[in-house]
Amino acid sequence: MNEVYQPRRYQKPIPVFWWLRRRSYFVFALRELSCLFVAWFIVFLLLLVAAIGAGPERYRQFLMWSATPWVLLLNFIALLFVTLHAVTWFNQIPQAIVLRLRGWRVPPIWIVAPMYLLWVVISTVAAWVVIGG
C-alpha cells in the first residue's frame, strides 16, 4: 500500500453574522464599531473648530445645529460607544503590559487604576479649560 487514503474533508461555512452567535463576539463587534463613532467625533470636532474660527455667528449656528434631535441622538449613541471603547481599552492594558518590580509581579489593578485616574484628571482639566475656569 503506497497511497494513504485521504477522506474528503468538510469545511463548515462560517455564517455571515458569525459575530451575533456569542455574547463575547457581539461585544467585540460593538467595540470595533466604536471606531466609527471616534471618526464621527473627529468630524464633529473639526466642524466645531471651523465654526469657532469663522466667528461668533457661525459658532452660535453650530450650537443650534448640535441641539437638533438627530445630532443629539447621534452624539448620545456616540458617547455610549466611546465609553465602551474606553472601558474595553482600559481592561486590555494590563494584558499587554506586564510590570515587574524586582521580581514581584505588579497586580493588574495597579496598572488599570492609575489609567482611570488619569482619565478623570484629564477630563476634569479639559472641562475646566473649555467651560472657562
Partner 1 sequence: MMVNGEPKLGCATFLAEYAPGPVQIEPLSNFPIIRDLVVDIDDVMRKLVEVTPWIVREDDQPLKAGEYLQTPTELDEYQRYSMCINCMLCYSACPSYALDPAFIGPAAIAIAQRYNLDSRDQGSRERMDVLSAPAGVWACTSVGACTSVCPKGVDPAGAIQQYKLTSATEALKTLLWSRGTR
Partner 2 sequence: MAKRSPEPFMWLLFSAGGMVTVLHIPVLLLLFGLGFPLGWVAAPDHAHLLVVLHNPLTRAGLLGLCVLALFHWAYRFHYIVRDALRLKYPSRIIATTTYTSAVIGSVASGYIVLSI
> Given the rule CB under 8 A, which residues bind partner 2?
16, 19, 29, 32-33, 35-36, 38-39, 41-42, 44-46, 48-50, 52-53, 55-56, 59-60, 63, 66-67, 71-72, 75-76, 78-79, 82-83, 85-86, 89-90, 118-119, 122-123, 126-127, 129-132
Residues that contact partner 1, how many (by CB under 8 A): 22
Hey, what amino acid is at 119? W
Minimum separation from the CB atom of position 118 to partner 2 (A): 7
Look at phi and psi of residue 77 and say left if phi exceeds 0, alpha if psi is from -120 to 50, else beta.
alpha
Write the CB contacts of 99 (distance below 8 Å, at least 6 apart in sequence): 105, 106, 111
Q: Is residue 109 involved in binding partner 1 (CB under 8 A)?
A: no
What is the rounded distance in angstroms from the CA atom of residue 60 to the CA atom of residue 62? 5
Grid cell digits, residue 34:
466604536
Could you give the C-alpha distances from 65 to 20, 97, 109, in angstroms and in order? 35, 43, 42
Contact with partner 1 (CB under 8 A): which of 1, 96, 101, 131?
A: 96
Minimum separation from the CB atom of position 18 to partner 2 (A): 9
Interface residues with partner 1 (CB under 8 A) are 7, 9-12, 14, 18-19, 21-22, 24-25, 28, 32, 92, 95-98, 100, 103, 105
